[in-house]
Amino acid sequence: MESKEEKIINDLILNGGLEVVAIDQETGEMLYSFTPKIEKLMPDLYQEHLQSVNLAIMNLWEKGFLNLDLFAKDPIITITEKALKEEEIIALSKEDRWSLFEIMRLLKRKV
């Protein structure tokens, strides 16, 4: 029998609000990403996620891994040279590494 969390995850996948993006190399667990549909499917979760993403971006900016143009109508995010150095990435927490890799994946997707 699936847990409440597993049911929510499965429902979100089936409804297009969540997608599998990778597998955690350390734990073997699936890693997910929200799709734009999450805003309509679960607005509260979307707002919470948006806050979390903004905090992660600001954190990586403060640590010198991202450049931000906060004055642009749609703020522009780019990676810095530091984000390409393995020794710098290894020094980050697991959460910060995941955030950085996800940002890099999404930026690559736009190109």
Neighbours of 18 (CB within 10 A): 22
% of the chain beyond a pLDDT of 90: 66
Q: What are the residue ranges spanned by the domains of the chain?
A: 1-41, 43-111
3-class DSSP assignment, residue 66: strand
Q: Terminal CA-to-CA distance of the chain, rounded, Å?
A: 42
Taking the C-alpha atoms of residue 45 and residue 77, their distance in angstroms, rounded to an integer, is 23
The first and second tokens of residue 50, run together, are: 């948006």
Q: At what angle do helices 94-110 and 43-62 cross, to 10 degrees?
A: 100
What pLDDT was estimated at residue 10?
A: 92
What would the pLDDT profile of 31-66 be if each residue is shown by its tens digit? 888 999 999 999 999 999 999 999 999 999 999 999
Give this prediction's pTM: 0.76
The rounded Cα 33 to chain-centroid distance in angstroms is: 7
What pLDDT was estimated at residue 31?
A: 86
pLDDT (mean) for 59-80: 91
In the predicted model, what is the mean pLDDT of the chain?
91
Indicate if the pLDDT at residue 97 is higher than 80. yes
Torsion angle, alpha carbons of 34, 37, 39, 44, to 10 = -60
What pLDDT was estimated at residue 110?
A: 65
